[in-house]
Amino acid sequence: MIRAISKRSSGSLFHYAHFFQDCLFPEFIAGFHGYEVVIRKKSLDQSIGKFRAMYEEIMATRVMELDADSFDSFDAPLQEVATIDRPTYEQYERFRQHVFFVVDGEEEPEPHGKVVLIRRGGRLELLDDPELIRQNLVLYSATTGRERREIRGFDRVQEALQGVYGPEGLVVAELESMTFAEQVRLFRGARAIVAVHGAGLANMVFCRPGTTLIEVDPEWPFEWVFVNHFCAVYGVRRVMIENRQEAVIECVVREVPGSANV
């Protein structure tokens, strides 16, 4: 058994981006998948909420969340784990190959070579503890998914890109309705990802070298070091574009050659 404390600069671990980069990835690198049980503090700062099942699947361990007093007094070693903003190639690859094995075993799927257009889903409840849900509603916004940001004129963008890449060349995906394994396979096989900035882009870590990311810029500037560094290390082309439907269409067609014109 091990008690885990996440040390990071901001964010909640029950939000996917922070769960991925501040918890799952660094705790894998720290060797937590070698423990039978990982014990966490049941608090807004440390709970991983509904991502517990995903953590347990990837790490092949069991997660227990305890109240602060029980956590502090529990007889098990305590380890603080910090975010790794700029992992090495070896660290990325250890994590990727582990996840690929968990998802697909020894079989390596062929890349599907499709352009993936990501539609944001609706609001999700990310916590599963009633008291933490109450605290979160009092202290923070519960807004997630398309309520926060979406590609403007999404239907028009989808229609235009289908005209370029055809029904066999374009995949429209809503990550919130997919399993973790489905998301891994989707990103691993894509030749291009088109998405508004959001937590789901943590899955870029599963893309193949040379993939193109068309990231529709949010209304506020943001530098996501963990994902940006992966793109640099693996040769993923990252193209930023303003959130305006015609600009998005023109950018995708320019950066990802297709078989027709809009």
The CATH number linked to 175 is 3.40.50
- Supply the pLDDT for residue 222: 64
| 107, 185 Cβ separation under 8 angstroms | no
Residues 119 and 247 both lie in one domain:
yes
For 209, phi and psi rounded to 5 degrees? -55, 140
Which segment of 80-94, 100-114, 169-183 scores lowest on mean pLDDT?
Answer: 100-114
Does the pLDDT at position 261 exceed 50? no
The answer to whether position 171 is within a domain reads yes
The answer to whether position 244 is within a domain reads yes
Residues 9 and 138 both lie in one domain:
no
Which of 145, 132, 256, 247 minimizes the C-alpha distance to 190?
A: 256
Does the pLDDT at position 72 exceed 70? yes
Q: Which residues pair with 192 in a beta bridge?
A: 115, 212
For 80, phi and psi rounded to 5 degrees? -90, 130
The answer to whether position 56 is within a domain reads yes
Residues 149 and 248 both lie in one domain:
yes
Residues 237 and 119 both lie in one domain:
yes
Q: Model confidence over 81-97: pLDDT tens digits?
A: 999 999 999 999 999 99
What is the domain extent for residue 209? Answer: 115-123+130-255
The answer to whether position 188 is within a domain reads yes
- Supply the pLDDT for residue 184: 95
Q: Model confidence over 28-46: pLDDT tens digits?
A: 999 999 899 999 999 999 9
The answer to whether position 102 is within a domain reads no
Mean pLDDT throughout 205-221? 85
Q: CA 202 to CA 9: how far, in whole Å?
A: 17
What letters, b where the CB count within 10 A reaches 16 and e where it falls short, cover 20-50? bbbbbbbbbbbebbebeebbbbbbbebbbbb
Residues 80 and 119 both lie in one domain:
no
| 31, 68 Cβ separation under 8 angstroms | no
Residues 250 and 165 both lie in one domain:
yes
178 pLDDT tier (thresholds 50, 70, 90)? very high
Residues 119 and 243 both lie in one domain:
yes
260 pLDDT tier (thresholds 50, 70, 90)? very low
Predicted model pTM: 0.90
| 74, 66 Cβ separation under 8 angstroms | yes
Residues 119 and 203 both lie in one domain:
yes
Residues 144 and 235 both lie in one domain:
yes
Residues 6+ apart with CB under 8 A from 165: 114, 115, 258, 259
The answer to whether position 100 is within a domain reads no
Give me the number of domains the chain comprises.
2
Mean pLDDT throughout 39-63? 96
Residues 149 and 250 both lie in one domain:
yes
Average pLDDT, the chain: 90
Phi-psi region of 233 (alpha: psi -120 to 50; beta: other; left: phi over 0): alpha
Question: Cα–Cα distances in Å, from 239 out to 194, 195, 196, 211, 217?
Answer: 10, 11, 12, 11, 9
Task: Give 194-240 as a DSSP string.
Answer: EEESSGGGGGGGGSPTT-EEEEEPPSS----HHHHHHHHHHT-EEEE
Q: CA 254 to CA 190: how far, in whole Å?
A: 17
Q: Model confidence over 130-143: pLDDT tens digits?
A: 899 988 887 665 54
Q: CA 53 to CA 48: how far, in whole Å?
A: 10
Question: Cα–Cα distances in Å, from 55 out to 19, 48, 61, 173?
Answer: 9, 9, 8, 23
Question: How would you write 58-125 as a 3-class SS string?
Answer: HHCCEEEEECHHHHHHCCCCEEEEECCCCCCHHHHHHHHHHHHHHHHCCCCCCCCCCEEEECCCCCCC
